[in-house]
Chains A and B, each alone.
Chain A
Amino acid sequence: MIRIKQSSPMHTIQDIGRFGFASQGVAHAGPMDSIAACWANWILGNPVNRPFIEIGGGGLVAEFTKSANVAIAGAWGDFTLDEQPLIGPGCYPVNAGTVLKIGRLSSGLFTYFAVEGGFDMEPFLGSVATCQRDGLGGVDGLGNALAAGDELSHETSQLKPLRLIPRRYLDSYKVPLICDLIMRNSDHFDSIAIDRFFNQSYTVAKEQNRMGYRLEGQTSISARSARYSIPIPLGGVQIPPAGQPIVLMRDHGSLGGYPIIGTLTRRSLSLLAQRSAGGVASFRPIKRDEATTEFLKYQKFFGDFR
């Protein structure tokens, strides 16, 4: 097993998410950057839905009590195995007694830590994904984050040689991001609002969490308010009356009452999730067919992708 020596409230157990209970208001949860999370399981040869740890911000120390093949993928920083620096996202063989240190993440907000076979955990409503908002999943099943002292069991593995994720598949999370947006037919926005939305750049605000990211632009945009709450999609971009967008992330509620201008592609959503406050993003429209083609490539490659 692994023993958590140091942790933070942004470190949570996740899997691909909790599906099938949205009509009762249960959030899907799952990884903020699903591309990086899928890589972590993929490089180990795991099915994509095996439980892993999402490390937000960094600052995790864990000790292995038995040997394991370990994958780290996503944002990078000062990471070591027994004080030996890791050289990049990929899969590393680890002996019993080794200590893994994930320092502060400097290139993005989230990194993913998986072991061969996955962490052995009991699902709640079909998933181990931690959702603090719903009080579901995680080590205790109650939606709590990982904490120092937690112990996670996993199978013993034959050690495999070190293997890195090919560089061409790795994204930079530091550059200004252009998000692909699938437009929604809506009578809440006039052409002036839509022009303004696509023709300005936004910065990620401090109010960002697993439910949503607030963005701030120079000019606010106006939307005719909605009378009813309707189902809201992952990656949906809400425009509340204040006129600054909120992008819906993995722990978002199933219904919402603010008008939605469109939905980010899953790839753009993963990349946006990695941006911390001050990160720069803008939007461009994309056809749904093009977006689906890209999405299906990920699904085919990883076995599943959501």
Chain B
Amino acid sequence: MRLDCAVNFKERIEWISEDTLEIRLGDPVAPETLSFVEMISHWIDLEKPEWLIDHCYGFGILSLVVHPALIKESRLIDLLTNAVSRSLSGSGPSDLHVIEIPVCYAPEFGWDLQLISETTELPVDQIIELHCSRDYRVLATGFVPGFGYLGETDPRIHLPRRDTPRTRIPRGSVAISENQTVIYPRETPGGWNIIGRMPGSIVSVTRDSINAKFVMGRLVRFKSISMDEFQAIGVLDDPD
């Protein structure tokens, strides 16, 4: 793996609030950026620095919530630089196992399919086919527990988010926006274009841990199912 060893963290850091700073790690879909995130996350999990309250990554940007009284920016830069240069040598292979997610694209679930079809001038069937035609990588996790951003979708079905987010999107809804596709793990507000729904759930939370199907870097594939199949799986699904 080739990485820019002389990472200048100073130029990449911006404080965005009293206790939160962002580090720009580079191109959101480049494998190098994902490696950076893995290195730093690994270092955080191992070291559990006392000045660090929380961290979160999304599309090229790593955000750290810190105790500003316990860490100086210069020290933070040293620590990050060391963490990255030390792990450059040994980076393990990513998980190659592909998860298959069944999706029912019926109009009852695919609220925006008709609109997408009008905007893209593609028949609904072809939009579904394009959505199922490739393997996606989990590019980021977050927003709500279990939520993963998968990419990249076929350029023919790229379109922006809705102008005003919907206040309620049902659990399991499968949606697209720009070059990505997502599943809503539970009912939340959201601005993505809804194309279908998966039966069952993609996350379980216990008293002290979260078990999510979508983990950074993992591969995912969608499979179109009928309404009957959707209902059959929904009944069988173990809530955990």
Contact = CB atoms under 8 A, between A and B. Distances in A.
Interface stretch (B88-96, B107-115, B125-133, B183-191): B183-191
Contacts of A235: 17
Interface in A104-129: 122-126
Interface in B141-177: 141-147, 149, 160-161, 163-165, 167, 177
A56 to B, nearest CB: 18
Interface stretch (B53-61, B77-85, B219-227): B53-61
A25 B53 contact: no
A19 B60 contact: no
A25 B147 contact: yes
Interface in B29-81: 41, 53-63, 65, 67-69
B152 to A, nearest CB: 11
Given A19-B54, A122-B207, A263-B20, A299 B69 contact: yes
A233 B17 CA distance: 8
Interface string A5-48: 00000000000000111111111100000000000000000000
A164 to B, nearest CB: 29
Interface on chain A toward B: helix, strand, loop, or mixed SS? loop
A229 B59 contact: yes
Contacts of A292: 15, 18, 68
A233 B20 contact: yes
B106 interface: no
A260 B58 CA distance: 14
A253 B160 contact: no
A227 interface: yes
Nearest to B216: A23
B205 A231 contact: no
Interface stretch (A61-69, A132-140, A146-154): A132-140
A25 B205 contact: no
Contacts of B69: 296, 299-300
A265 B18 contact: yes
Contacts of B189: 211
A136 B186 CA distance: 12
Contacts of A194: none
Given A240-B163, A292-B18, 19 more contacts: A20-B53, A23-B54, A24-B142, A133-B186, A134-B205, A207-B167, A227-B178, A229-B142, A231-B22, A233-B16, A233-B17, A234-B20, A241-B161, A254-B142, A257-B161, A257-B191, A288-B15, A296-B18, A300-B69
Interface of B: 14-20, 22, 28, 41, 53-63, 65, 67-69, 140-147, 149, 160-161, 163-165, 167, 177-180, 186, 188-189, 191, 205, 207-210, 212
Interface of A: 19-28, 122-126, 133-136, 141, 182, 184-185, 207, 211, 225, 227-231, 233-236, 240-242, 253-258, 260, 263, 265-266, 288, 291-292, 294-296, 299-300, 306
